[in-house]
Structure 1
Amino acid sequence: MATGVLAGPIVRTHPLHLLRQAWARDKPLTLIGSAMVVLLVGTTFGLIADPRVITGAPAWLKPAKFAVSVAVYSFTLVWLLTYVTGRPRLVRLVSWATALALAVEMVLIVAAAATGTTSHFNVSTPTHATIWSVMAAAIVVVWLANLLVGLLLLRQRLLDRAFAWSLRLGVLVSAAGMGVAFLMTQPTAQQLQSARSGGDMTTVGAHSVGVADGGPGLPVVGWSTVGGDLRVAHFIGLHALQALPLLGLLIGRFGPRWLRVADRTGLIWVASAGYLGVVGLTTWQALRGQSLVNPDQLTLGALAVLVTAVLVSTAAILARARRRPEGPAAGGGPPVGPSAGYSEAGVTRPDS
């Protein structure tokens, strides 16, 4: 029976040992993740040696950023799939589909950088339009596979219910964040106007809202500082895949003994709702053509309401738990040992 890499104590944490563990568990995703680490080294040299600029950014910056993102996503998925038992065919389907789709995506991104052109939204020629269609299809495959992982985790019986919900909600919130990318593929008002006036539509879709892609942006990430940018919400939402399970681990391992499973589960739900709220807020902000670094009063007011709701809900859960007389074994973090994280016959924690 598989167990999560982080579900129990890790005696050996040398990177090569962890890599061997990942390879034994999931070869396709480990291969693509490792390949991205190698690619990152190569693109770093490209950033140093190649002076070309594409859409206002160094030619090899996008491949480098995507290499980091794909590596993190791949190895996170290796870990998450260790919590899915009894469905080996579906796990293999998710693994192979995700790895192949990401490989196709990265090959096309690197090829575009090497030839000095854009990869995303480029429909300037029939060839470029076909490449963009293939890339879009590949990302749809990754998104559907992510949703399937969420469904599998929802059906999986896990021993620690609070930690289980941190996994499930992390995947589902990340699917919402990934879904923001679909908004980027819609033609902008300027592109539609150009098409109506008889001009050539060389690009369809954009990261930015209200301004052209490639303008002034934040260092490294490139998020627009003069207009809306859907990449903000996309980035935040995607990394719920790591943030919420990490929160579940931290609450379980280091939370006070008087927090019962129901309390920890409530905290996870509040954090997940707040996280999803931030994804929604930054999406809304971007769609109004507003930069992340220049929020208006409406955005700040919505943020204040969201933060207040999260803090009040958290305080209410903690106050209720603290007032409750301590019972036996309020329980710590995710269970350890050979059956970490699982329940196969309705077995529950003592405090559940």
Structure 2
Amino acid sequence: MSATITGTATTRDSARPAPHRPLLVLAVAMAVGAALCVVALILDPRELGGQPLWAKPLKFCLSIAVYSVTLAWLIGLLPRRRRLASALGSIAVAGLAIEMVIIAGAAAVGVTSHFNVSTPLHSVLWGAMAVSIVVVWLVTLVLAALLARVRLADPALTLAVRGGLVIGLIGMALAFLMTGPTASQLSDYQGIVGAHAVGVDDGGAGLPLLGWSTTGGDLRIPHFVGMHALQGLPLLAIALESLAPRVRVLRDAAKRLRLVALASIAWAAVVALTCWQALRGQSIVAPDALTLVVGGVVATLLVASTVVVLARRQEASR
């Protein structure tokens, strides 16, 4: 992106820092790892917790690759504090690498990585994963604070970055809801403390590859939706700006800003809705009437608000 950065400092494109190499190297490594996981899925028929053994490493390879590229891009938006930002990026690389090595290693020996405290070694590994992901969350929080004072040339993109970071941080933090023991674990301890599912045990029927429970609630859904606001909202802002020369109603920067604001509110609402649904032990594929009504209200308000914004665009362009 070639937008000029303004705010507490101004920088030209020629003064932009070089891409954060460790993060990009990690992204490439994760892409290679994802390809290897696909091969392993084909060649290794074993299952763990009702899912293909190599499905979890594949998902984490893809997630870490996307996050690494996103973080490298966000660091590149900072006109100042570049040394601090670079150090934060390197810390994130270390945390993510630790997470991935433990997940892949556990899959290689056919045991679960998450929530596994069945032996002292597994407890240490699970603790290391927990610490590493907290560190990554804190890195993202500090970057969000640094970017809060940075204004880009396109106000819509500025809002998208800020909104994506806030919702993304909330989505990442929702993972901590999964770490407490369930009622069944308290009554019949099997070396596992924590679960993705609510109302049912982990390992039951789930969506292909994603593994999200189809028989009970699943906290991975709001976690996933929230995290990817980091990518979704900025991509929306970039798409709107790219379409502006060809779509007349998008040429007004203020109107693009309003569309991104609506998208941010809607994204946060979906995170809240899916979290509420999961905590009630309700499957994503079997919403009850109340969930459908609330979801319908959110969708209706979003569509109506978008129509109003677009109508005002047309009036302004006459």
TM-score, structure 2 as length reference: 0.90
Matches within 5 A, 1:36-51: 36-51=30-45
What is the deviation of 1:24?
A: 4.8
Provide the rounded CA distance (Å) in 2 between the counterparts of 1:50 and 1:254: 45
Of the two structures, which has the highest relative contact order with CA contacts closer than 8 Å and spacing of 6 or more? 1
Find out whether 1:79 has 2:73 as its counterpart: yes
Matches within 5 A, 1:215-234: 215-234=204-223
Name structure 2 gaps, 5 residues minimum.
Answer: 4-16
Could you report, residue by residue, the CA deviation over 1:287-315 in whole angstroms, capped at 9, with x for unpaired residues?
A: 10011000000000010111112122222
Matches within 5 A, 1:199-218: 199-218=188-207
Provide the rounded CA distance (Å) in 2 between the counterparts of 1:266 and 1:171: 18
2:14 maps to what in 1?
none
Provide the rounded CA distance (Å) in 2 between the counterparts of 1:325 and 1:292: 42
* 288-297 vs 306-315, greater mean Cα deviation: 306-315
Match of 1:317 among 301, 309, 312: 309
- Partner amino acid for 1:312? A
What is the deviation of 1:323?
A: 2.2
1:292 maps to what in 2?
284
Aligned with 1:246: secondary structure?
A: helix
1:250 maps to what in 2?
239
Could you report, residue by residue, the CA deviation over 1:136-166 in whole angstroms, capped at 9, with x for unpaired residues?
A: 1111111111122222221113222111111
Provide the rounded CA distance (Å) in 1 between the counterparts of 2:39 and 2:48: 17
Q: Which has the larger radius of gyration?
A: 1
- Partner amino acid for 1:290? Q
What is the deviation of 1:201?
A: 4.9
- Partner amino acid for 1:226? T
Provide the rounded CA distance (Å) in 2 between the counterparts of 1:237 and 1:151: 18
1:267 maps to what in 2?
259
Could you report, residue by residue, the CA deviation over 1:250-295 in whole angstroms, capped at 9, with x for unpaired residues?
A: 1112144455222211111110000110011001101100110000
- Partner amino acid for 2:95? A
Could you report, residue by residue, the CA deviation over 1:28-63 in whole angstroms, capped at 9, with x for unpaired residues?
A: 101211111121222222212222221111221111
- Partner amino acid for 1:171? L
Aligned with 1:284: secondary structure?
A: helix
Find out whether 1:189 has 2:178 as its counterpart: no
Match of 2:273 among 281, 299, 307: 281
Match of 1:159 among 137, 153, 156: 153
Find out whether 1:29 has 2:23 as its counterpart: yes
Name structure 1 gaps, 5 residues minimum.
Answer: 1-5, 9-22, 327-352
2:229 maps to what in 1?
240
What is the deviation of 1:216?
A: 0.5
Aligned with 1:314: secondary structure?
A: helix
* 102-111 vs 228-237, greater mean Cα deviation: 228-237
- Partner amino acid for 1:112? A
What is the deviation of 1:200?
A: 3.2
Provide the rounded CA distance (Å) in 2 between the counterparts of 1:38 and 1:325: 48
Find out whether 1:125 has 2:119 as its counterpart: yes
- Partner amino acid for 1:307? A
Provide the rounded CA distance (Å) in 1 between the counterparts of 2:198 and 2:102: 25
Find out whether 1:305 has 2:294 as its counterpart: no
Provide the rounded CA distance (Å) in 1 between the counterparts of 2:109 and 2:317: 67
CA gap of 1:29–1:325, structure 2 versus 1, over 3 A, is closer
What is the deviation of 1:222?
A: 0.8
Could you report, residue by residue, the CA deviation over 1:120-145 in whole angstroms, capped at 9, with x for unpaired residues?
A: 00011111111111101111111111
- Partner amino acid for 1:107? V
- Partner amino acid for 1:247? L
CA gap of 1:90–1:210, structure 2 versus 1, over 3 A, is same
Provide the rounded CA distance (Å) in 2 between the counterparts of 1:325 and 1:33: 43
Provide the rounded CA distance (Å) in 2 between the counterparts of 1:204 and 1:7: 48
What is the deviation of 1:112?
A: 0.6
Number of residue pairs the alignment of both structures matches = 302
Provide the rounded CA distance (Å) in 2 between the counterparts of 1:270 and 1:114: 44
| Structure richer in helix, relative to its length | 2
2:165 maps to what in 1?
171
Provide the rounded CA distance (Å) in 2 between the counterparts of 1:130 and 1:206: 18
- Partner amino acid for 2:275? T
What is the deviation of 1:169?
A: 1.1
Provide the rounded CA distance (Å) in 1 between the counterparts of 2:66 and 2:200: 30
Provide the rounded CA distance (Å) in 2 between the counterparts of 1:227 and 1:241: 27
- Partner amino acid for 1:297? A
- Partner amino acid for 1:246? L
Aligned with 1:211: secondary structure?
A: coil
Identical columns (%): 49
Mapped contact 2:249–2:310 kept (Cα < 8 A): no
